[in-house]
Amino acid sequence: MPATRLPVTASLIPHSNSRRASLVQHRPQALPRQANAVSAPPAPMDVERSQAKTDSLPVEHLPHPKNDPDSIEQDVLSKVSYTIGADPKALTTKQTYRGLAWTVRERLIDSFNKTQEYWKSKDPKFVYYLSAEFLMGRSLTNAVYNLGLEGEYGEAIRKLGYSLEDLQDQEQNASLGNGGLGRLAACFMDSIATTDLPGWGYGIRYKYGMFKQGLDKGFQSMAPDIWLSAGNPWEVYRPELAYRIGFYGEVKDGKWIPAESVNAVAYDNPIPGFGTNNVTNLRLFESQPVNEFNLDFFNEGNFDEATQEKRRAEDISAVLYPNDATDYGRELRLKQQVFFVSAAIQDVIARFKEQHSDFNELPNKAVFTMNDTHPTIAVAELMRLLIDQEGLDWDNAWAITTKTLAFTNHTVMPEALEKWPVKVMTKLLPRHMEIISKIDSIWKGSLADRVKAQIEAEPKAEAKAAASEESSLVPEDTEAGEDPVDAALAKYGIICENPWEKGVKLVNMAFMAVIGSKSTNGVAAIHSDIIKHTIFKDFYEIYPEKFQNKTNGVTPRRWLAYCNPGLRELITKTLGSNEWIKHLEKLSGLKQHAEDKELQAQWRAVKQENKQRLAKYIKANVGVDVPTNAMFDVQIKRIHEYKRQHLNMFSIINRYLEIKAASPEERKKFVPRVCVFGGKAASAYYMAKKMIRLVTAVGEVVNNDQEVGDLLKVVFLPDYNVSLAEVIIPAAELSHHISTAGTEGSGTSNMKFQMNGCLILGTMDGANVEIAQEIGKENMFVFGVDAEDVPRLREERKDFKDYDPRWVKVMDSLLAGQFGDAEYFQDLVDNVNDMTKSNDWFLLANDFADYLRAQKDVDELYKDQDEWTRRSILYTASSGFFSSDRCIDDYAREIWEVEPVAVPSS
């Protein structure tokens, strides 16, 4: 659909080309002018961006804010008076935070404008990161530190009677993501800026996030996360940047006529790099109605219909991952995906066209990374825009598309790959469905000769085929009369049969992404190997050169330097500089000090201070007193059966039963533990919600058992988010990363814990494998079956008889109601214990005994605090490889082909 282009009036508007989009207009204003929601009719797609004249000075003549403490203090007071309208002589903490945030925003905008103007002059290639989630967390401390102004701001704020830490607690977490996928995207934005890469992120500005999690009598409760109620000083509203997005309707004579349309209106979020002048951008889109209010309906008394279009439009950017248990919910999820992807691609094309006319140049000026399957509609959408709006022929558009898109896969489980019913796709996106069908037909047609030759060769290689896992290329369920070539081609199809509902066709979005992009990468070495030989096996055999590995990383700024200031100072003192914050490999210098008793003592002191901070948080938020001389044992991540929080809970129940059975003298030998859980269960995920209730139910019993006392505490911290992680991770001494081998893509929380010197108890899954390579497997607590054995063990699980006696006791205790409602936990137990009712797909029973063996090893080592601390130091010292800076550099060189463009100092 065409883009609505309204007059440009703000300094941050990216009046740029696709070669390096500048966010600076020729005659910008210092700050963006606010406006009402877009409601203008669409302009033709090929209209150039408006270049409204303003009376403001060119950016180089604007006064830049001064950065000495006195100037910052006065600037804060000025913002409090004139931006917020408060009395500077009677400030609240909240008002002071808001004034402070607006001063930081101005400095961000100043650096942001310089960056975009410089990039525009150099016209380099950009990377555009498409992601349904960006879990950014709070921005204040990160922005101040990345701008290199922590000393100046710290002194200025002290003059006002506060600290930066006091004020950052007033900031709401940006609710733009849920788990590792969104946090990875946020880390990547930090590293793109820090490594000077020209790049932007694109996503959705969710009004209510996923949900605000609470506990109601131990059960997960959900409420809207109204994080924008007090405004967001870190974003710049762009009402003049709006793109028309269409849905439903019909295709006539090759032209799509949508029956429903919305405007995607932009909000920019400047992202500063560390140790650089570069500030990049996260552009988020809000869905707004084309026509906000129907006065005729209202005057006729049809009040609901008068605002129906507004409500339906706002639904699109209301909630992250709306419940898809209903038809409307499923359509809404698909709407969200095409909404932000189309807006992003339209935005890039509009910027590209400002200075370029030949679309064959697009792959030299832009590369889109599709972060998991949510943005993979980009394949069909880019084709649609190039053909329908820009007039390119099919072959040319396809050549451009397959050079401009790149796909990052985050899962190894086939059921997690998005597959949209053809019926839904045809209804909501009829033109896209036509394009997808044509891609599918051409793709399978290109393989027909290859498949036919393989089928004809099968009889000649009968012995070899018999020894193969797949003895025939032709599926066993090929129906009589069906062309064997067509049957064999089905496994390559984007459009496929629903295996659970005969006659229902699905669109496999991941398959389309592999076919329609220049590369496909996994996110850990084991994960990338698995996808090549399982879910994408047939594609890997055809395009082995397309497949790569890019092991994830996390930013060491937020996840070590800023969240753990005590450890930051100790590391810097030990290494003699803070260069490690940008060059994390320099942490390896700690290895030579790992056995230094004085450093070990200081290291433990930092950990103890962090434990006390977490204990204070636990008391304030869930009312449980936890001992800080106990081991802090943590599992924080999205609640899911494959992540196996219930396996952890079964081991805790076993520990509780053993403590209860022990004599007073024997209890003295137990290592005290505080077991901390956090994470959200998706709104429609029945079993995940039961897993949360299992944690709280056991906690209610254990925490109030006077016989157990401080030997064991179990707490679930609700509404897990970035800021809570910044409190938990520095305090953690043991962390659990215990997914069934072969199910986790990578994991990134394991990297955050490692950086902070927290020892890992885990399976050889995801990035745990590479962490073990870096620190030495002997320094981890490894347990569980290997990934290559999982398929066989799943087949054999129904006949598994070797239940550990401790497993039986745990199951019996739950079914006897020792931890509350036995009936409620019945199906949770049956799911892993009764193979007449389920299949224990994630092999909890198989791994339980070995998990307890590893837990015993943990206890024994914790008694030797010098050795525990030595390993803790080695964990931090060996974390250099897991910096997102390294990961982004790998992407830039090996997939994106984007070069750094550093903004020079003025």
The residue from 20, 98, 183, 410 that is catalytic is: 410
Residue 252 DSSP symbol: E
The whole-angstrom separation of Cα 475 and Cα 490 is 9
Strands 631-636 and 673-678: parallel
Angstrom distances, CA of residue 645 to CA of 121, 679, 783: 52, 10, 15
Where residue 776 falls (left for φ over 0; alpha for ψ -120 to 50; beta otherwise) is: left
Q: Is 643 a catalytic residue?
A: yes
Residue 151, Cβ density class (10 Å: 0-12 exposed, 13-18 middle, ≥19 buried): exposed
Question: Is 638 one of the catalytic residues?
Answer: yes
Catalytic residue among 9, 408, 411, 748: 748
Q: Which candidate in 351, 431, 713, 752 is catalytic?
A: 752
Q: How many CA atoms are closer than 13 Å to the CA of 446, on its beta-carbon side?
A: 10
Separation between Cα atoms, residue 848 and residue 829, nearest integer Å: 14
Q: Measuring CA to CA, how many Å separate 739 from each of 190, 535, 647, 736? A: 28, 19, 9, 9
- Residue 527's nearest CA partner among 408, 645, 638 is 408
Other C-beta atoms lying within 10 Å of the C-beta of residue 607: 25
Q: Where are the alpha helices (DSSP H) in 223-286?
A: none
* The one catalytic residue among 244, 643, 680, 886: 643
Catalytic residue check, 637: yes
**Residue 312 · residue 287 · CB < 8 Å:** no
Active-site residue among 238, 444, 638, 655? 638
Distance of alpha carbon 561 from the chain centroid: 21
Tell me the β-bridge partners of 554. Answer: 883
Q: Let me know if 660 is a catalytic residue.
A: no
What distance in Å separates the CA atoms of residue 501 and residue 189, rounded to the nearest whole number? 41
Indicate the residue type of 312. R
- The answer to whether residues 128 and 348 touch, using CB atoms and an 8 Å cutoff, is yes
Instruction: Enter the tokens of residue 766.
Output: 């995801």
Dist CA 687 CA 831 (whole Å): 9
The b-or-e profile of 738-760 (16+ CB within 10 A means b, else e) is bbbbbbbbbbbbbbbbbbbbbbb
- Calpha distance 763→768 (Å, rounded): 7
CA–CA gap between residue 87 and residue 71 (Å, rounded): 19
Estimate to the nearest angstrom the gap between the alpha carbon of 263 and the chain centroid. Answer: 25
**Residue 734 bridge partners (DSSP):** 633, 759
User: Which of 116, 195, 189, 16 lies closest to 892, judged by CA?
Assistant: 195
Could you confirm whether 748 is annotated as catalytic? yes
At how many degrees (to 10) do helices 597-622 and 565-575 cross? 170
- Indicate if 410 belongs to the active site: yes
Instruction: Take residue 317 and report the two structure tokens written for it.
Output: 């950017």
List the catalytic residues: 410, 637-638, 643, 748, 752
